[in-house]
A and B are shown apart, each in its own frame.
Chain A
């Protein structure tokens, strides 16, 4: 696995491989005149956890939000290049609503709706015209998010009564209810304590079987624990992307090494 040709990992040599779940091709992104992503090309494989790391402000969140077209909700932004999911361009001849149904997102701060736990999970499914058994779907999604045991007796209690970690797993359940293939997570554990974080990481590892996961994290140990591949960004550029173990033990670029050994950022 680690040694196949797809790991050729110099930034220029991100050879776009066949069968990538998500492919980013020569992506540039601007907030107004601020050029924050510079010619990023990257392949994300199916059923793997890919971690984005890099110093604050390097564009990790921006890239993540480009992958499900959340950035176009911000006025005065511009994007060039292509993003493909299963070979389909998500920016041309595509409806952002349909894109977001296939590529779900979990945010840095848990943001459940001010509704009950049940209503939170079913919300996105209802909006998307789900016609099946709601109780079934809610249970399935809460189980996948490893939250079922903790909330099964109070599904109709307010979501705001949950702890931060539980709220974050509720947000994951809510995302899964829409049946995406890819789940984006932007520092999902940054508001959580170590125990809740461990629980969340466990959940992510379980989800990998069925979903493709991309996670932004500032926590190098976390990236090491849960990700199969890691991409390192610096000032809007993708410096290096490789198998996580490889990147952390034998980074091919000096900047990556400096960052992961804590010499800057």
Chain B
């Protein structure tokens, strides 16, 4: 610390005039710097812009519907004569699908990450990893039809009373969709744990599973948690699968066999429908969008918190 301070004061006083010529301020360097800064600015401004639009348009909505109703009412019926605007049915629909997706994707994703990183021989890894990543390349509309026309009928054979549109099938397929995200990012995190730690553990007479569970996974925990949260954000924002397979019935329920509507599916329905601009139904779109935005934002915030806490320990 002290050293670097001394060096910088030395440069400031111009003790070495020839060394003080600052290459970083040549026109070319400056042009590059501005171009990079501009690109960074564009993405920040876009995010801020979206947030601003959501906020401003939501204000129109909340001018007509009180926040209290929005947060306490248990019905969401914007298209009915008797309109109710309680967010809970949509929120619960989203949460239900997300929880089911998490139950599918997190264990399977993490275990396949562990398998690929630590168990699979080189040849198997070379096939498995791109194979899994291929799952991420399937268009979501294909997943949606797969859920509706294959998974649901299959589930109906052993889940009695399963609605043709239901949260279970949509949640499972959303889970399958995000497996590659969990496994790929978690595997990167596990592989980033220094090999020397694993070797140290092996040399102490640890078995492979002990090395994996007590050294590799704890060492990679921040990356693993990050992959979980990113995947869950993706599940929350997933639209096509839930629109096709979960239904269009805002329904405050925790029963996965029932039809539910998620926030995203509602936004799709209203956007595609003939809802006239300027009506309260139209503005409700932005209010729901704002909630969605706040949810993913707080999840990212949470992810950062967790990552930082574990970084200190490991």
Contact = CB atoms under 8 A, between A and B. Distances in A.
Interface string B190-208: 0000101101111111110
Nearest to B194: A111
B133 interface: no
A178 B206 CA distance: 10
A120 to B, nearest CB: 9
B121 A107 contact: no
Contacts of A54: none
B202 A100 contact: yes
Nearest to B313: A114
Interface stretch (A68-76, A148-156, A202-210): A68-76
Contacts of A171: 200
A104 B205 CA distance: 8
* Chain A residues touching B, range: 20 to 34
B205 A124 contact: yes
A174 B200 CA distance: 10
B207 A97 contact: yes
B196 A70 contact: no
Given A111-B194, A113-B200, A178 B205 contact: yes
Contact of B204 (A73, A98, A109, A174): A174
Contact of B199 (A73, A104, A123, A178): A73
Interface in A131-188: 171, 174-175, 178
Contacts of B199: 70, 73, 107, 111
A113 B202 CA distance: 12
Given A97-B207, A114-B314, A73 B202 contact: yes
Tell which of B199, B200, B205, B313 has the most Cβ of chain A within 10 Å. B205
Interface in B187-226: 194, 196-197, 199-207, 210, 214-215, 219
A21 interface: no
A107 B200 contact: yes
Nearest to A98: B205
A12 B68 CA distance: 92
B196 A109 contact: yes
Contact of A107 (B196, B206, B219): B196
B122 interface: yes
Given A104-B203, A127-B206, A114 B219 contact: yes
A120 B314 CA distance: 13
Contact of A100 (B196, B203, B313, B314): B203
A65 B102 CA distance: 42
A105 B203 contact: yes
Given A75-B122, A114-B219, A124 B196 contact: no
Contacts of B210: 127
A101 interface: yes
Interface string A12-54: 0000000000000000000000000000000000000000000
A128 interface: yes
B205 A75 contact: no
Contacts of A75: 121-122
8 contacts: A70-B202, A75-B122, A97-B205, A107-B196, A127-B207, A127-B210, A127-B214, A128-B205
Given A107-B203, A127-B204, 16 more contacts: A97-B207, A100-B204, A107-B196, A111-B196, A111-B200, A113-B197, A113-B201, A114-B219, A114-B314, A123-B201, A123-B204, A124-B201, A124-B205, A128-B204, A174-B200, A175-B204
Which 4 interchain pairs have the tightest Cβ spacing? A124-B204, A101-B205, A105-B203, A111-B196
